[in-house]
């Protein structure tokens, strides 16, 4: 049942006193676009988990999992971890020296959703889109209250990176979109048309806003997201592009499992779709782990707090192998089910033949409501810098000679 929560502490998403003014145009108008995740990265941002009402046992097991994800990505590209003052020493000690640790306040640890969406132009420019954020539904089913620190994360990340900021006038989490870098955006109706995000905007207005801020031309709409996904069906847990014209789709064969109908509907929509370049889509099924559910011990380790979605024993977990991160030379994917992990790795490796596929134990992240893609945000490298990246130890694919 959706929880109802009180009024937000503040709404300072557009202007933060003392910070540089946002741009008053849009990325598309200025010739910027969101690159695909497999294009070269300058780095990756994450945020350190700590809230005991979302992470069990004071977040210690989740911190171990986040540190393992950061270490795996750091083998491929520079990682920055946003950490509170109270957790700074602990995070610093848990992370490899190569991970940059910065003090930056958050309400939780989902940089995919609270961070900026970076956009590039063809002339070496990089900027960021700061979307509105309402904790996955605000007063109508949001996951926690308040969320004003999370609302300011994107602006602060852009301040640290020194990148100009666009302010997008719509509520959107980065996990609710995937792009192919060639004009197509993939999303779900369950999330983007949900009245708890942008009730004043219809489908056409949302499409227009996506195109203006991502530099895209075509939306491929899927229906629902993964069964019991508390984000209202983020696409990054259901399906993603592996390259232009190819989509990986989480798949459950058992017709009695509620996920089967969701995946079947997505398959039919993808098979009927064409992308922005007019291509049909090749769909690769990626069998889901489980089904998995929270144990009594796991649920009992989470502190119950009013205004935060409770965790209960037996709750179905929205487990999916699609929720991976494509780093410059690796794909970092979640280990969730010993019976299926290897098969998932083989399918992901075939879809990304130039990258090494690395698994990280990720059940603790899943218990918090998401997975590896949800906790990471890539910082793309402008084309002008690829030569410099190629000379470093974290050279992106496509930049090597």
Which residue, 244 or 369, has its beta carbon nearer to ligand KQY?
369
Full strand arrangement of the beta sheet holding 165-171: 117-120, 126-132, 165-171
Measured from the CB of residue 62, what is the shortest distance to ligand KQY in angstroms? Answer: 11
Q: Does 44 bind ligand KQY (CB under 6 A)?
A: no
For the stretch 195-217, what's the b/e string if a residue is b when 16 or more beta carbons lie within 10 angstroms of its beta carbon? ebbbeebeeeebbebbbbbbbbb
Stretch that binds ligand KQY, among 89-97, 119-127, 209-217, 365-373 (CB under 6 A): 365-373
Distances (CA, A) of 353 to 219, 264, 334: 27, 26, 18
Q: Rounded to whole angstroms, how far apart are CA atoms 355 and 137? A: 36
Q: Does 186 bind ligand KQY (CB under 6 A)?
A: no
Please give the structure tokens belonging to residue 214. 């991502």
Using CB atoms within 10 A of its CB, is residue 322 exposed (0-12), middle (13-18) or buried (19+)? buried
Q: Does 234 bind ligand KQY (CB under 6 A)?
A: yes
Stretch that binds ligand KQY, among 86-94, 208-216, 233-241, 266-274 (CB under 6 A): 233-241
Stretch that binds ligand KQY, among 19-27, 59-67, 250-258, 368-376 (CB under 6 A): 368-376
Q: Does 368 bind ligand KQY (CB under 6 A)?
A: yes
Q: Rounded to whole angstroms, how far apart are CA atoms 289 and 226? A: 12
Which residue, 147 or 251, has its beta carbon nearer to ligand KQY?
147
**Which position among 233, 289, 370, 380 is part of the footprint of ligand KQY (CB under 6 A)?**
370
**H-type helices in 184-339, by residue range?**
189-192, 203-214, 258-272, 296-300
Rounded to the nearest angstrom, the gap between the alpha carbon of residue 60 and the centroid of all alpha carbons in its chain is 22
Distances (CA, A) of 192 to 65, 92, 210: 29, 37, 10
**Which position among 67, 362, 374, 379 is part of the footprint of ligand KQY (CB under 6 A)?**
374
Report phi then psi at 348, rounded to 5: -65, -40
- Nearest to residue 233, comparing CAs of 285, 186, 169? 186
Measured from the CB of residue 369, what is the shortest distance to ligand KQY in angstroms? Answer: 3
Looking at the annotation, which residues are catalytic?
Answer: 374
Quick one: residue 186, left, alpha or beta (phi over 0 = left, psi -120 to 50 = alpha)?
beta
**Which position among 54, 117, 198, 216 is part of the footprint of ligand KQY (CB under 6 A)?**
54
Q: Does 56 bind ligand KQY (CB under 6 A)?
A: no
Measured from the CB of residue 374, what is the shortest distance to ligand KQY in angstroms? Answer: 3
Which residue, 196 or 385, has its beta carbon nearer to ligand KQY?
196
Please give the structure tokens belonging to residue 127. 């900027």
Site map (CB under 6 A) of ligand KQY, residues 293-332, x = contact: ----------------------------------------
Q: Rounded to whole angstroms, how far apart are CA atoms 36 and 31? A: 16
Measured from the CB of residue 313, what is the shortest distance to ligand KQY in angstroms? Answer: 17
Which residue, 34 or 75, has its beta carbon nearer to ligand KQY?
34
Which residue, 23 or 305, has its beta carbon nearer to ligand KQY?
305
Q: Does 369 bind ligand KQY (CB under 6 A)?
A: yes
**Which position among 39, 107, 113, 130 is part of the footprint of ligand KQY (CB under 6 A)?**
113
Q: Does 61 bind ligand KQY (CB under 6 A)?
A: no
Which spans of this chain sit near ligand KQY (rule: CB under 6 A)? 54, 110, 112-113, 143, 173, 175, 230-231, 234, 236-237, 368-370, 374
């Amino acid at each position: 049942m959706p929880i109802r929560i009180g009024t937000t502490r503040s709404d300072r998403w557009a202007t933060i006193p003392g910070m540089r003014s946002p741009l008053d145009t849009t990325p598309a108008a200025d010739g910027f676009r969101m690159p695909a995740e497999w294009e070269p990265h300058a780095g990756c941002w994450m945020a350190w988990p700590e809230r005991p009402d979302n992470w069990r046992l004071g977040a210690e097991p989740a911190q171990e999992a986040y540190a393992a994800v950061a270490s795996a990505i750091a083998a491929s590209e520079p990682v920055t971890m946003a950490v509170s003052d109270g957790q700074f020493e602990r995070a610093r000690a848990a992370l490899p020296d190569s991970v940059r640790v910065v003090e930056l306040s958050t309400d939780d640890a989902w940089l995919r959703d609270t961070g900026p969406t970076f956009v590039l132009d063809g002339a070496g420019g990089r900027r960021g889109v700061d979307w509105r954020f309402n904790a996955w539904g605000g007063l109508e089913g949001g996951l926690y209250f308040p969320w004003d620190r999370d609302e300011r994360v994107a602006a602060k990340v852009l301040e640290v990176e020194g990148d100009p900021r666009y302010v997008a006038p719509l509520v959107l989490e980065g996990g609710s979109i995937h792009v192919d870098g060639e004009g197509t955006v993939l999303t779900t109706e369950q999330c983007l048309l949900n009245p708890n995000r942008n009730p004043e905007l219809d489908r056409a207005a949302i499409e227009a806003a996506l195109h203006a801020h991502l530099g895209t031309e075509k939306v491929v709409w899927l229906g629902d997201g993964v069964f019991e996904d508390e984000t209202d069906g983020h696409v990054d847990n259901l399906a993603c592009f592996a390259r232009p014209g190819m989509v990986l789709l989480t798949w459950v064969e058992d017709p009695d499992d509620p996920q089967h109908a969701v995946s079947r509907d997505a398959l039919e929509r993808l098979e009927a779709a064409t992308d922005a370049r007019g291509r049909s889509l090749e769909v690769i099924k990626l069998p889901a782990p489980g089904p998995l559910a929270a144990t009594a011990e796991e649920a009992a380790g989470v502190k119950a707090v009013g205004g935060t979605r409770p965790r209960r024993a037996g709750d179905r977990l929205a487990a999916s192998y699609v929720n991976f991160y494509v780093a410059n030379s690796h794909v970092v994917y979640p280990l969730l089910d010993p019976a299926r992990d290897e098969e998932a790795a083989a399918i992901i490796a075939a879809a990304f033949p130039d990258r090494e596929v690395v698994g990280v134990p990720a059940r603790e992240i899943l218990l918090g409501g998401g997975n590896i893609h949800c906790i990471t945000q890539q910082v793309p490298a402008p084309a002008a810098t690829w030569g410099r990246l190629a000379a470093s130890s974290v050279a992106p694919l496509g930049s090597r000679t």
